[in-house]
């Protein structure tokens, strides 16, 4: 069987849970925290990983996996190179989306919102918590830029290791945190026969969260 035929024939019924708009938490940040904790307890792999989608000035989207490092009050923090492709696209368009996928629980969480720089204090604190090798890596990689070879990257690492050998490795000015402030959530629970449960939270004009069920 070739790959396409195999994919075409894949079928799976989802039977591990249900989701009801009457039973979910009153606010989406509380529901997110609940599902995140359940995913941790279920030992979901890479529980902190999410797909971040940004859009450039030509309205072309791009996606990649990044790591959530903190969340509170509908705000989600991650850290990266500000001069990367996503950083450049964020400069152009502050609207982003994030998707968490927990296949072990047959769940996904979609979040939409706006993005801004995290505070310098948070960026410094997170950078200072990183292993030495990761700090050197942040200085050494011109993220998303074309390079001639792996050797070019490794030589940059060696140069920075030598430079910082007897001094503190400070946070690069081009590296730090972003915070996504959510204005929309969708919680998806897989169900049998593709009749999935989808519950969304959306901010209305009074800045109140409105809960609704969506057709699967």
pTM: 0.93
DSSP 71: E
DSSP 192: G
Q: Count CA atoms within 13 Å of residue 49 on its CB side.
A: 9
**Residue 46 within any structural domain of the chain:** yes
The pLDDT value recorded for residue 28 is 98
Residues designated as active site: 194
**Residue 124 within any structural domain of the chain:** yes
The pLDDT value recorded for residue 8 is 65
Is 80 exceeded by the pLDDT of residue 79?
A: yes
- For the domain that residue 38 is a member of, what is the CATH number? 2.30.110.10
The pLDDT value recorded for residue 14 is 75
**Residue 29 within any structural domain of the chain:** yes
**Residue 32 within any structural domain of the chain:** yes
**Residue 147 within any structural domain of the chain:** no
Residue 208, domain extent: 12-128+173-214
Percent of the chain clearing pLDDT 70 (strictly above): 98
Lowest mean pLDDT across 15-19, 61-65, 102-106, 163-167: 15-19
Q: How far apart are CA 202 and CA 199, in angstroms?
A: 10
**Residue 103 within any structural domain of the chain:** yes
Domain count within the chain? 1
Residue pair 93/55 in contact by the 8 Å Cβ criterion: yes
How crowded is residue 131: how many other Cβ atoms within 10 Å of its Cβ?
8
The pLDDT value recorded for residue 10 is 67
More confident residue, 88 or 16: 88
**Residue 184 within any structural domain of the chain:** yes
Q: Taking CA 171 as the corner, what is the angle to CA 57 and CA 90, rounded to the nearest 5 degrees? A: 10
């Amino acid at each position: 069987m070739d790959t396409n035929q195999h994919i075409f024939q894949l079928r799976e019924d989802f039977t591990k849970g249900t989701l009801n708009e009457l039973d979910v938490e009153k606010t989406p940040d509380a529901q997110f925290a609940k599902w995140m904790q359940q995913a941790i307890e279920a030992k979901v792999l890479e529980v902190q990983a999410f797909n971040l989608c940004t859009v450039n000035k030509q309205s072309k989207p791009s996606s990649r996996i990044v790591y959530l490092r903190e969340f509170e009050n509908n705000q989600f923090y991650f850290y990266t190179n500000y001069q990367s492709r996503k950083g450049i696209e964020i400069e152009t368009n502050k609207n982003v989306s994030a998707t968490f996928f927990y296949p072990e629980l047959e769940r996904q969480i979609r979040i939409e919102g706006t993005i801004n720089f995290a505070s310098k204090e948070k960026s410094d604190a997170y950078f200072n918590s990183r292993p030495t090798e990761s700090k050197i890596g942040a200085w050494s990689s011109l993220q998303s830029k074309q390079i001639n070879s792996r050797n070019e990257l490794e030589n940059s690492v060696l140069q920075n290791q030598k430079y910082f050998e007897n001094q503190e490795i400070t946070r690069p000015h081009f590296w730090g945190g972003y915070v996504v402030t959510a204005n929309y959530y969708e919680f998806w629970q897989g169900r049998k026969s593709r009749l999935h449960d989808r519950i969304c939270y959306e901010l209305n004009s009074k800045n109140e969260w409105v809960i609704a069920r969506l057709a699967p």
